[in-house]
Structure 1
């Protein structure tokens, strides 16, 4: 029973050791993130999704069309990806 308690205490002390090491860099990163104004952060995310949508539109047809495994029918994944991105853009624009 004592060995289990000692193991738990040593595991806790190891976790505390790493938490103390990472506390400084974590606080620095937190300050960087807090310094970014919310409208700018929203703009960065929207720009990212728009650039991703443009990249998807520019992909060659061979990269976005696959055959359905059961029917063999060709499926264009570009429209599904664009629908997902448009929904994310709308959500980020509203909220």
Structure 2
């Protein structure tokens, strides 16, 4: 049986005020923004070494790295779908290579 909850326990309408963000969501957004910033620096370093694929912007490269290397992808593939860590690492390396270089 699926559990549901009523406001205000689930962040329902009684708490939806302009500028209000659930604590866990704000934390997750900050972490994602930090990751994207770090991956932007990685993309710039790759560009400086002339390693990025022609036609791929630093912004696109950073977004690709973020989407593929995001911790939620690891959790989904390894923890939820029972991939081995080795299979995940191999997939990630191959996919990043095919996407960026």
The TM-score, its normalising length taken from structure 1, stands at 0.31
Larger radius of gyration: 1
The TM-score, its normalising length taken from structure 2, stands at 0.29
* Structure ranking higher in helix proportion: 1
* Structure ranking higher in strand proportion: 1
Q: Which has the higher contact order (CA 8 A, sep 6+)?
A: 1
